[in-house]
Amino acid sequence: MHTIFLDGDKYATPLELHLALKSMLELPEHYGCNADALYDCLSERKEAVHAAVLSPGQGDTAAALRKCLRVIRDLDGRVTEL
pTM attached to this predicted model: 0.92
Predicted local distance difference test score (pLDDT) of residue 62: 97
In the chain, how many domains are there? 1
User: What integer pLDDT is reported at residue 82 of this predicted model?
Assistant: 84
Residue range(s) defining the domain that contains residue 6: 2-81
What ranges in the chain are assigned the alpha helix state H? 14-24, 35-43, 59-74
Please give the Cα distance from 63 to 50 (Å, whole number). 19
Which CATH number is 45's domain given?
3.30.370.10
Tell me the pLDDT tens digit for each residue of 20-79: 999 999 999 999 999 999 999 999 999 999 999 999 999 999 999 999 999 999 999 999
Count of other CB atoms within 10 angstroms of residue 18:
22
